[in-house]
Amino acid sequence: MALDSKIPEGKLEEKWNNYKEHAKLVNPANKRKMEILVVGTGLAGASAAATFAELGYKVKAFCFQDSPRRAHSIAAQGGINAAKNYKNDGDSVYRLFYDTIKGGDFRAREANVYRLASVSADIIDQCTAQGVPFAREYGGLLDNRSFGGVQVSRTFYARGQTGQQLLLGAYQALERQIGLGNLTMYNRHEMVDVVTIDGKARGIIARNLISGKLERYFGHAVVLATGGYGNVFYLSTNAMGSNVTAAWKAHKKGAYFGNPCYTQIHPTCIPVSGEYQSKLTLMSESLRNDGRVWVPKTKEDAKAIREGKKKPEDIKEDDRDYYLERKYPSYGNLCPRDIASRAAKEACDDGRGIVPSGLGVFLDFADAIKRLGIDVVKARYGELFPMYQNITNEDPLKTPMKIYPAVHYTMGGLWVDYELMTSVQGLYCLGEANFSDHGANRLGASALMQGLADGYFVVPYTIGNYLAGEIFTKAIPTDHPAFEEAEKAAKVRMEKLLAINGKHTVEDLHRKLGKIMWEYCGMARNAEGLTKARKLLGELRNEFWTDVKVPGTLTEFNPELDKAGRVADFIEFGELMVIDALNRNESCGGHFREEYSDQGEAKRDDENYLNVSAWEFTGVGADPVLHKEELKYENIKLQVRSYK
């Protein structure tokens, strides 16, 4: 199948308006007959479901948490980007567009990114109208701060809990539609398969996580908004429940997977402290506005700090290496995440790490406190400092924070066209679950922007263009053979997991998977390691299906069974991720192949890899088929990505 991205003709700045003006419409009477299933109720899913219902469609929304308020979107701390130019510092829609393309190392679609930048200002107006308590300046205007990879202040924030406040706004919109009877909410339901009929998505199979019952749901269209796959690494900043299952099931039903090797390693996380950990904690990138990153210049001083013989305050200013300011003077501590992460790894690999494991650097607020005063610094970052102190028992206002990179966000995801439809007709994908807007690296504060843009301002228009052709399709009964077959396959798989009765817990095998992925497909990769990883993953898949221990039964509340299904999908997905990383013989953004670098900097190959890798599933353990979407840059000149 040829990849048709459906990018509209015309000038870049006119494409989205032209699309909306010529898209097909569904009249109000017909909307009442159309059913849409939305899987996932984080920012993208909740905003989409609420907007669909407000437009008049019949909507069913599903989340595996006990409430949409539990979605991992709440964990976003730092802010949301928008080209409002409130600071009068030269920002514009074009500059946000350019920064996003450059930040993604020139591996994103121009048309999608420009649309994202152009609707960004509308998001702030929408959320302010909902009552989201954005930070304000003394005069009452909304405040802004800067984030990595940009030289303007365009990030709107609500202390250190921006994601939570934005999700509450979307949740209120969702609850309003539930109250009006336009939307039915299914909490504690996990999608375990997509149902396709004649090549179109026509429903899902969901498992009621309380009773264990498998249930069938029909929809004229299915929308996935289920987040990213960072937990393939086991240790990440993602919530423990975050998984790849919904996207992977869609992939196995024909949806292409785009750029799975693109993973973002966030530079400011609390370092790993022991084998017992099952999750890592993010410290917002906003802290790099006022925090300065450094390590000692000498290995001797670093060793003394690791052994507790010296404190950070004992290292004189001239003996500190503020390596981001040294290497990237134009952007300093606000260089993009992938670059800051690799620089931290480089310093630690040089033996200058400052925690017992050697994998940690300092983030120091002493200068900001001298310049602004402690009360101003505390007010800017809300609960971030107390959160750090509660976890580490150290006060970051008195001694520097200790940070190190960790898996945070995934730029890859299901391949979608300009309309956010996957390669399966009627199956849409929003937010972090799709690949569309960030290229090979996401700039900070752009995840919330994309999720809300997709849900509030993009898919409500594009889905109508498809549903206008479905108005004569009556609801398909869920006793249709396609539903029967999908439910049977899901049940057989779960029964197989329960019957293995092996020696290893799901958690043990997940941790083993994470170690393989981090070692060979983490912050740095090479052909030898990736080749080894593929072999190890095949062996791990066999071990999982012959020696995992899953207690309980199918028809009951069984979290271990739920997790077993997710980890089985992670192992299969990990193989695709490694294949993609092995296939892309270049370094770009979050994909750093050691063979393709120049003095530690990423070395792109625009001649051979200026494309999206869209993979087609051919079977578990089999080689997938690669489809390429060529990227065309007509408005931005390709150049070496420099922040120096």
Mind telling me the catalytic residues?
337
Which long-range contacts does 547-551 make (Cβ < 8 Å, 24+ apart)? 547/500, 547/502, 547/503, 547/504, 548/497, 548/500, 548/502, 548/504, 548/505, 548/506, 548/509, 549/500, 549/501, 549/502, 549/503, 549/504, 549/505, 549/506, 550/497, 550/498, 550/500, 550/501, 550/506
What ranges make up the beta strands (E) of 292-385?
Answer: 292-296, 320-321, 361-364
- Residues 559 and 557: their CA atoms lie apart, in Å, by 7
Q: Exposure of 28 by Cβ count < 10 A (0-12 exposed, 13-18 middle, 19+ buried)? A: exposed
Sign of the four-CA dihedral 245, 251, 252, 254 = positive
The owner of tokens 């994909």 is 591
The DSSP-derived string for 607-631 is HHH-EEEEEE---TTSPPEEEEEE-
- Residues 284 and 109: their CA atoms lie apart, in Å, by 27
Strands 292-296 and 413-414 turn out to be unpaired
Contacts of 481 (CB under 8 A, 6+ apart): none
- Residue ranges of alpha helices (H) inside 472-526 are 481-500, 506-521
- Residues 20 and 573: their CA atoms lie apart, in Å, by 36
- Residues 463 and 419: their CA atoms lie apart, in Å, by 7
| 407-to-324, 357, 579, 610 alpha-carbon distances in Å | 20, 18, 19, 25
| 473-to-34, 342, 524, 546 alpha-carbon distances in Å | 9, 52, 49, 44
Nearest by Cα to 60 from 48, 72, 76: 48
- Residues 457 and 196: their CA atoms lie apart, in Å, by 27
